[in-house]
Structure 1
């Protein structure tokens, strides 16, 4: 978040250069994303202005540049199409209400300090999700270049030599072949944009164009609420909020790795949420952290949040000064820019190494990618995260089960010397259940099974010496074991319960079910108690 401490002669100079450079990179993308969304070029431009300004002012990442991006554009295009078909009268207004509602959700995410959880998504899910977005972007540009949708596309000599197709293909080749070293000086997207515009101006060929952007500020649109669309509005808002959050926090992590600073993820979500909420009020696309534009700002000298605010103001000045000239920009060049983005966003590195990656990760990535393309983005992410978490929990549970050790006299060599001799002097009627490490809910079933399979004629001592966390599900499993032993008239003892575990046990009054004399401060004291009983000492 911007403060007076950010201002100095050194930082302001760097922020101005960073903002100017990132503006040059951002303009073609803002136009392209606006046109592709179906809301118009101005929706993309004002997204870059509004989210760029307010996310920098209130956010938690110093050099972050926010604006429209690939995933959000794909999602917004689908939302606009869906809502207009469901409600021709209120569909557009409802779609932009969704943008404001998404911003409100992001603010809540930040206030509830949920930022750290959004980056805990399995890599195969992120890879499949982003690759799916890349495919969707590519498919969305086919109709603009060839005049028909992908499913209806019939390649012929006429479609291939069409002026719009040839110009788009030429721009795409330029974008793909432009040397990376030159790209740092003059972005290839600017070269393609200027070249295609000059071609249109000086040739007599008729081509589809973007159209002029009004130099007047967009009018304020008040949110509406349609009860018939309520469920879809909430679902769509959560999708937009999640996509923006993921993009923003991933970009923040990139900034951290370059600048050696640490961003405030929760503050970043508040800033992005304010930006999106205001963007929805003015009919702009939703925005999020834009990695390429942010890195450009950082490399060019941007240091403080002022760089992002200046970036937004520079775009606003350009709109006022040159908005009418967008009427000469062919849509083919914007399609080429997005095709290049779609191609680059596909995780080719993962796909090239697919034969070296575990089969589960491959299936998870590919299925998430296919669901992103064939169903919708939110379903793909939710199912992917759900499956990944289930498998992770299973694997962690297997590791945690290794921390449950049922020890008898035959296993006494695993104990320390003092307890070793105590257990050795007893009859083979004492069973020691040693629990170590954190025990989550995935272990509960294995915990009950391991105890039920042993001879319950033995006295059970549950040792928590090395346990620092026992989840509620495992706590209930331990309670069931205690009750099972007590119902059979057998003794059960608990030893060395740390403060945190004891507090969790007290919440369900588990310790009330145990004779206080059978709860001990340490394993040694519990074994000494058993050692004093004649029934446990060898004859």
Structure 2
């Protein structure tokens, strides 16, 4: 991997410019940026509409956030903008707090991401359990697909319920109102995308599909809903930046939504950066990537845009088109801005059914169906976490799904870890077996192997309880304990207190530096008078012998 020794909090753009940037690379990046912009144009519009906003909001996000994610991020090839993962979250925030609430939540999420980046939390994202990520991603895919049924079929419905099951029931009631012209346009667009992906993957299928659908509707005079009929006043260019009103009550009400946006943006951006690393051989800077994402979401909110993050499919398109520096992502944003400035009227001819077809393909790509098909090969606990996260995402709420999924996965991990930690009684082997032949009378040895945390802390106390008559001296061998958490310390403190109540002295043997520091801070250090410390097992035996021979 290249970029082995990254400079902390330095955008990759600066690194690229320091390395030397020539005309040849500029030409390659410009072509890659144009390619990505062609893919992103219909997708950004579709995501803006699916989120409950308007197509121009998606484009504004792709321009403003896309430019800054590339310019300030920690990846050479990351392409940013609106993504499918935010559709459900954004839609619910707009429904509950209005669009001004969404803008405020996005602004706050940007600030949260900045803090997370400078606090070096980027590396922690990798500890989100994979079954949780797969479950909520697949759940979002199902919800996105469900929201597009009305536009794809041309159903005549007064309103579409927000919840999944009532939505399906409403579709069933309106199934007799299918518009064949709309269905034909949507099916044709979907067919074009699928065929081009299989036969000519380098051709921008999304753009070809919407152009073909728009031409067919215009030339044939088909009575189908279009972007222009749904959104007749699409502005051209970028709006003026505006700071949202920072009302305390509003801030408090949208704070949970802001954390959800920041969490999703962080996860998807870093996942996308990892994918890009695998395709290019470079190495991203996770903390700087969060900083770039934070700045991009702050700016997107100031221009009235949507939340943004790294987009895996667009990033992969950029790399395949030859993009190797952040400049290609910046070009992608500039080309989109040109499309907004001079092509707004043409966008109005795009049929809504064609955008629904694009979102069906987005949902299919998000579903990770290959992993779902291999669910039987997963451990039982991982299957439960994945299916529960998926079900809660679809039927309840994304935030609840992530919280429950992460909590359940963490508890399962702790249970597995507890099985790897051993508390051995009367361990008689020594680092130097020649130093002793047997334990002195009245001396007992406990050997702990593995990280000592709250899942196993009670085992130590329970082992002492089961001994009946405690010994005069207890040696606690801690050489193979690399980690000691707060609950582990409490378990050891309870163990020491119980030993003292029964008249037993306690000796800690060969404590590693980090656990020793934790013990010292919690009143169990060498000067506490409660325990004695030995540098190794031989010294602990000598202390135990001396302790045993001292008069009580």
In the superposition, the TM-score normalised over structure 1's length comes to: 0.91
1:173 paired residue number? 191
Q: Partners in 2 of 1:176 and 1:33 — Cα distance? A: 19
Q: Partners in 2 of 1:416 and 1:215 — Cα distance? A: 77
Structure 1: tracts of 5 or more residues without a match: 84-90
Q: Partners in 1 of 2:414 and 2:439 — Cα distance? A: 40
User: Does the CA contact (< 8 Å) of 2:33 and 2:323 recur in 1?
Assistant: yes
| The one of 113, 127, 141 aligned to 1:120 | 127
Q: Partners in 1 of 2:40 and 2:532 — Cα distance? A: 69
Deviations 1:144-173 (A, max 9, x none): 223244321237885445211221122223
| Structure 1 residues 158 and 167: alpha-carbon distance in aligned structure 2, compared to 1, 3 A threshold | farther
Q: Partners in 1 of 2:511 and 2:385 — Cα distance? A: 40
Are 2:90 and 1:71 aligned?
Answer: no
| The one of 449, 458, 464 aligned to 2:462 | 449
Q: Partners in 1 of 2:113 and 2:528 — Cα distance? A: 47
**1:514 positional shift:** 5.7
- Within-5 A mapping of 1:416-495: 416-418=431-433, 422-424=436-438, 426-427=440-441, 429-458=442-471, 459-495=473-509
Instruction: Indicate the SS of the match to 2:450.
Output: strand
| The one of 263, 269, 274 aligned to 2:295 | 274
| The one of 128, 131, 136 aligned to 1:129 | 136
| Structure 1 residues 352 and 218: alpha-carbon distance in aligned structure 2, compared to 1, 3 A threshold | same
User: Does the CA contact (< 8 Å) of 1:103 and 1:275 recur in 2?
Assistant: yes
User: Does the CA contact (< 8 Å) of 1:134 and 1:345 recur in 2?
Assistant: yes
- Within-5 A mapping of 1:323-362: 323-362=344-383
Q: Partners in 2 of 1:534 and 1:72 — Cα distance? A: 67
Q: Partners in 1 of 2:511 and 2:280 — Cα distance? A: 45
**1:92 positional shift:** 2.2
| The one of 392, 395, 406 aligned to 2:425 | 406
Instruction: Indicate the SS of the match to 2:171.
Output: coil
- Within-5 A mapping of 1:4-23: 4-5=17-18, 7-23=21-37
Deviations 1:20-70 (A, max 9, x none): 111111111011111212211100011100111111111111111001110
User: Does the CA contact (< 8 Å) of 2:431 and 2:537 recur in 1?
Assistant: no
**1:330 positional shift:** 0.8
Structure 2: tracts of 5 or more residues without a match: 1-10, 161-167
1:393 paired residue number? 414
- Within-5 A mapping of 1:514-525: 515=529, 518-525=532-539
Q: Partners in 2 of 1:517 and 1:340 — Cα distance? A: 65
Q: Partners in 2 of 1:330 and 1:144 — Cα distance? A: 9
Q: Partners in 2 of 1:169 and 1:143 — Cα distance? A: 13
Q: Partners in 1 of 2:527 and 2:309 — Cα distance? A: 53
User: Does the CA contact (< 8 Å) of 1:94 and 1:225 recur in 2?
Assistant: no
Instruction: Indicate the SS of the match to 2:223.
Output: coil
1:162 paired residue number? 180
Q: Partners in 2 of 1:238 and 1:491 — Cα distance? A: 50
Instruction: Indicate the SS of the match to 2:343.
Output: helix
Deviates more, 1:374-383 or 1:463-472: 463-472
Q: Partners in 2 of 1:534 and 1:308 — Cα distance? A: 73
User: Does the CA contact (< 8 Å) of 2:36 and 2:318 recur in 1?
Assistant: yes
2:47 paired residue number? 33
**1:479 positional shift:** 1.7
Q: Partners in 1 of 2:487 and 2:210 — Cα distance? A: 60
Deviates more, 1:320-329 or 1:464-473: 464-473
Q: Partners in 2 of 1:241 and 1:517 — Cα distance? A: 46
**1:381 positional shift:** 0.6
Count the aligned residue pairs. 520
Q: Partners in 2 of 1:76 and 1:498 — Cα distance? A: 48
User: Does the CA contact (< 8 Å) of 2:29 and 2:328 recur in 1?
Assistant: yes
Deviations 1:368-403 (A, max 9, x none): 111111221111111100110111011112212x2x
**1:456 positional shift:** 4.0
2:6 paired residue number? none
Instruction: Indicate the SS of the match to 1:178.
Output: helix
